[in-house]
Amino acid sequence: MSRVTIATLRKLKQAGEKFAALTAYDASFARLLDESGVAVALVGDSLGMVLQGEDSTVPVTLDEMIYHTRLVRRGCEQAMVIADLPFMSYATPEQAMNSAARLMKEGGAQMVKLEGGSVMVETVRALAQRGVPVCAHLGLLPQSVHKTGGYRVQGRDSEAAEAMLADALAMEQAGADLLVLECIPRQLARRISEALSIPVIGIGAGSDTDGQVLVLYDMLGITSGKRPSFSHDFLSDTGSVAAALVAYVQQVRAGSFPADEHSFD
């Protein structure tokens, strides 16, 4: 099989076929993800919390993201590798360009992900016009947790929901190739996924998005502390990492994960 590209994900969306994504931070897990049919390996800045033991993603540096992206890229032959731009590495379009260039040239990322709505339009446009594939991220924005005051479901009232839909359309219009929606009501995720022609990947956003992503350590049950309610421990169901990954991919493709108990209304 050849490497997953933006065109592959668009075709899956058009065909109504769901795809699975997972975070990855090193070559060994990336290889297992790749072999299990995960379409997208996301080098998330969640590594600050699950690998480094920080209490947020804010301390993660660009050099650390480049290092982990390079490891993941070595383990993936098929999965598309997307890397997070860490906190304050994209505060201006020019800084975003320099940071994205390093993630792609030194880390081997095929796409970069950034958090934020309308305020990021100019940056997304600048990146897209210069050939940088961009994944936008709306809903719960972990890099802004100190400003917003916690990890909570977003877009619950109608004003916030309309604003998120408008932001999603603005991101697509600016040239984003993918969108991640984190921790939002499933009805809103469904509306946004239907309104956009780019693929939408949900985490804690119900089963109606085009793809699903989870933090690898959450779905293997090895995250310290409480697992988010929208995740599931596939390792305890199956007994091996390889089988857990395959079960996740199969359930996402079949539309049986996430179930109602992993979704918000």
Task: Tell me the window of 44-52, 152-160, 225-233, 245-253 that interacts with ligand KIV (CB under 6 A).
Answer: 44-52
Q: Which of residues 4-33 bind ligand KIV (CB under 6 A)?
A: 23
Tally of helices (H runs) and strands (E runs) in the chain: 12, 8
Which residues in 96-125 contact ligand KIV (CB under 6 A)?
none
Beta bridge partners of 16: none
The reply to whether 46 sits near ligand KIV by the rule CB under 6 A is yes
46-52: list long-range contacts, CB under 8 Å, 24+ apart. Answer: 46/142, 46/215, 47/23, 50/25, 50/215, 50/216, 50/217, 50/218, 50/223, 51/25
Smallest distance, ligand KIV to C-beta of residue 215, A: 5
Q: Rounded to the nearest 5 degrees, what angle is found at the Cα of 224, between the Cα atoms of 222 and 228?
A: 85
- Interacting residues of 208 by C-beta distance below 8 A, sequence separation 6+: 186, 189, 190, 193, 202
- 2, two tokens: 């050849």
User: What is the closest distance, in whole angstroms, from the C-beta atom of residue 158 to ligand KIV in the complex?
Assistant: 25
Concerning whether 182 is annotated as a catalytic residue, the answer is yes
Which one of 96, 205, 215, 249 is in contact with ligand KIV (CB under 6 A)?
215
Per-residue x/- track, 167-186, ligand KIV (CB under 6 A): -------------x-x----
Give CA–CA dist 103/97, Å, rounded. Answer: 10
Q: How far apart are CA 199 and CA 5, in angstroms?
A: 12
Asked whether position 213 contacts ligand KIV by CB under 6 A, the answer is: yes
223 binds ligand KIV (CB under 6 A): no
| Catalytically annotated residue among 35, 64, 77, 182 | 182
45 binds ligand KIV (CB under 6 A): yes
* C-beta of 124 vs 162, nearer to ligand KIV: 124
Give the residue closest to ligand KIV by C-beta.
Answer: 44
Binding site for ligand KIV (CB under 6 A): 23, 44-46, 84, 180, 182, 203, 213, 215
- Could you list the active site residues? 182
